[in-house]
Chains A and B, each alone.
Chain A
Amino acid sequence: MNRQRIQLSARISLLLLLATGVAAAQSTIEKAQGIPINDPLIISKCAGCHARDAIGTMSRISYIRTTPEVWEQILKRMIRLNGLVTTPEESRQILRYLSNNNGLAPQEARPVFWEAEHRLFRTQEEEAGVPEQLQTTCNQCHTIGRVLSQRRTAVDYIKLANTHMALFPGAEPMVFRPTERYAHPEDIPVGTTQLSAYEVELNYPPAPSKTDGKYPLDLALEYLAKNQPLVTPEWAAWKDTIHSPKLAGVWLVSAYQPGKGKVYGEMTVEAASTPDDFATKTVLHYPDGQVVTRSGKGIVYSGYSWRGHATATPSAGTKDPAFPADTREAMLLSADGNTMDGRWFWGGYQEFGLDVQLTRLQRNTVVLGFDLFSVKSPSSSELHIFGANLPTGLTPADFDLGKGVQVTKVVHSSPTDALVQITVAPGLPASPHNVFVKGMIAPQTLTVYDKVDYIKISPDASFARLGGTIAPKQYSAFQALGFANGADGKPGTADDVPLGPVPSAWSLEEFYSTPKDDDVKYVGSISDSGLFTPNLEGPNPNRKKQSNNYPTENWGDVWVDAFYKGPSGETLKARSYLVVGVPVYMHYDQPEVGQ
């Protein structure tokens, strides 16, 4: 008996020793990977809790690499919950140091840059690419961009999950290690058992809460440790080459605002107080003739990632929510330092935005683009071409728009734009045409078509939020896009030719989900240009429904219909699905990164 006990205790000791050894080995690997933090301000502010060792690694901080937005979020949480005290200037310094020292390589940042760009919509294909392990865990509360833009060690991912469980008691039973009650809510509708006249038991489906004996959290942690490690070849190559880019100069802007069209202009960037700070002045020309002048500032993080903020000079149109009065900017600088692309966004939920491409103005001639998307065969119209250093005194012979499209007259020609009259010959097949000005090709094509065969609404499913009293409204801008069937004459095939936005009439239509809920009467209204404005939030005393006799919100789900009238009187229709929902009461957002 005694001997057995001794053997058992020896075995336990051996196991313990092994376990300690493994943990120590893990800890050693972890230590070796840590990124040293050498900033005196961070050491003085953070080392009280995040101990710094002899080689300069600090607990937690050294084992995370991520975007300025996530670092800002962390910083604000430390101030809100953990007693960190900093001045705004100190916060800016800390944010910059961490975004440069513990940032992402450009190759790591680009695939998830839509997160920094605050894009509301992605395509089905992009969504299908989100790893299943993260969809069932992190993605339940976070946009997946927040998750995909982080790099940590395996141990730090575990600590991150633990932080979630400590802060939010629902995280573990509902998401990480779901109990049957909560697992896979998409499997509902649940069955019911009538126990008595008054009692109904809900039968939740047996929850497949474990896969191969692993909880969703285990699978997510495995995925993250393997696919998003702290140490990557991309970062190793980038971190030593980070420098402050020289951006001062004039940049040509080519942009697109859904619902408004193509926008061209110039942004003048001036150097400011530090090598990573810049002041900006922008002039934008909208297709309806509106000229918007903005001034603002920008900061470059990690040597390539622009965050800015600009306000427009008050002018006509400021009551239009789609007017870029106060915009934030997120752009990526290309490897050669001569182009930037990204999104300038605004609105209560950042639902409005310009997709922008900036090109550094040099001495060479640049053809930026033109105002039209497509022209009908036969027809005649005016084409407004934008560029820089364009030769003056252009003649029709200087333009080549492909077979059957002729420039008949140059109405106006200057170094920055040219207005020309074009005629399109009859009987041309639907196809994109290259546009050449003095032998230089425009980056976009002009599509010639004989007939709009069908239209689609973009986006095909959308979301708006009630607001206007205490919460901001979330608008939703729709646009109708025309298509030609292409050579095979069939819609919905690979050879269909996109024709760009087409003018349409708009209306809302009841979506039959709940009988007699009359959503169309309450959710809001859609303008002639396809901009949906949601109704006010809060209980509406005029709208009592369901069984509890409480007034209910103006929410609902509706079809958005677009009608395109063709030249011979035919009408084409397209539909998009719109949910109008409730406000968000907690905005986890980091506008500070651009200020």
Chain B
Amino acid sequence: MASLRAINRKAKQVAQLHAAEKGDLVGLQDPSSAAGKVYHPMGCTLNFTPGWEIDISGGTAGLCQPVERDLFDCYLGCGWPAQVPDHLNNAPDWTDKCSSGANDWRKIDILFP
């Protein structure tokens, strides 16, 4: 890139993307971080495991859009049990008040088991 100069908008975006990849600090999306792996800020009651808060690349672009659309699948499949209630044992009636998460998301309960 050193000898190339972006002159149109698309090329400028490519240049910005390139610059962002060579960011100046350790971040979730920097594979060359000090520990040689992605750097996860630590949650206090749960880990920052890719999949719930972030996608596999460390960002949010690959998550279900919106998350409420997929939430009840997590619930039924006991997926992300540290973040989402599970229907098998801990919260069998979590979805009673709300049949469609994407539409009625304001009725979703936050649980403190």
Contacts and interface: CB of A to CB of B under 8 A. Distances in A.
B88 A118 contact: no
B16 interface: yes
A577 B71 CA distance: 26
Contact of A350 (B24, B44, B79): B44
Contact of B82 (A142, A144, A517, A556): A142
Contacts of A513: 20, 29, 57, 59, 61
Interface stretch (A85-93, A214-222, A369-377, A545-553): A545-553
Given A185-B56, A539-B105, A577-B28, A588 B45 contact: yes
A238 interface: no
Interface string A456-494: 000111110100011100000000000000000000000
A120 B42 CA distance: 5
B89 A167 contact: yes
Contacts of B7: none
A250 interface: no
B6 interface: no
B52 to A, nearest CB: 7
A548 B47 contact: no
21 contacts: A80-B90, A120-B42, A141-B49, A141-B82, A167-B88, A460-B25, A470-B106, A512-B16, A513-B29, A513-B59, A515-B17, A517-B61, A546-B65, A557-B28, A577-B26, A577-B28, A579-B53, A582-B67, A587-B113, A588-B46, A589-B44
A186 B50 contact: yes
B113 A76 contact: yes
Q: How large is the interface on B (under 10, 10 to 19, 20 to 34, 35 or more residues)?
A: 35 or more
B110 A550 contact: no
Interface string A133-157: 0000001111110000000000000
Nearest to B66: A539
A188 interface: yes
A461 B69 contact: no
Nearest to B48: A463
B81 A538 contact: no
Contacts of A470: 105-106, 108-110
A432 interface: no
B104 to A, nearest CB: 11
A170 interface: yes
A347 B94 CA distance: 24
Contacts of A553: 60, 65-67
A550 B66 contact: yes
A115 B43 CA distance: 10
B61 to A, nearest CB: 4
Contacts of A550: 65-66, 69, 102
Contacts of A460: 25-27, 39
Interface of B: 13, 16-17, 19-20, 23-29, 33-35, 37-54, 56-61, 63, 65-69, 71, 77-86, 88-91, 102, 105-106, 108-113
Contact of B47 (A142, A167, A555): A142
Interface residues of chain A: helix, strand, loop or mixed (majority): loop
Nearest to B27: A577
Q: Which 6 A-B pairs have the closest CB atoms?
A: A577-B27, A581-B53, A539-B66, A514-B61, A512-B20, A118-B44
Interface residues of A, number: 72
A549 B71 CA distance: 18
A542 B65 CA distance: 13
A80 B72 CA distance: 21
B47 A538 contact: no
Contacts of B33: 124
Contacts of A188: 56
Contacts, number: 209
B85 A586 contact: yes
Contacts of A167: 86, 88-89
A382 to B, nearest CB: 35
A573 to B, nearest CB: 9
Contact of B60 (A143, A512, A557): A557
Contacts of B91: 586
Given A512-B13, A513-B57, A539-B66, A143 B86 contact: no
Nearest to A584: B83
A463 B78 contact: no
B77 A170 contact: yes
A559 B59 CA distance: 12
B65 A548 contact: yes
A587 B109 CA distance: 11
Contacts of A118: 44-45
B47 A539 contact: no
Contacts of B79: 170
B73 to A, nearest CB: 12
A545 B65 contact: yes
Contacts of A127: 35, 39-40, 42
A169 interface: yes
Most buried by B among A461, A559, A586: A586
Contacts of A316: none
Given A141-B49, A579-B60, A588 B113 contact: yes
Nearest to A549: B65
Contacts of B59: 511, 513-514, 556-557, 579
A186 B56 contact: yes
Contacts of B85: 585-586
A483 B113 CA distance: 45
Interface string A521-543: 00000000000000001110000
A168 B88 CA distance: 8
B74 to A, nearest CB: 9
A80 B113 contact: yes
A57 B68 CA distance: 47
Contact of B34 (A80, A124, A142): A124
B51 A461 contact: no
Nearest to A576: B25
Given A461-B28, A538-B106, A588-B113, A579 B54 contact: yes
A411 B71 CA distance: 61
Given A143-B47, A463-B43, 12 more contacts: A127-B39, A141-B80, A170-B78, A460-B39, A461-B27, A469-B106, A550-B102, A557-B60, A575-B23, A585-B71, A585-B110, A587-B45
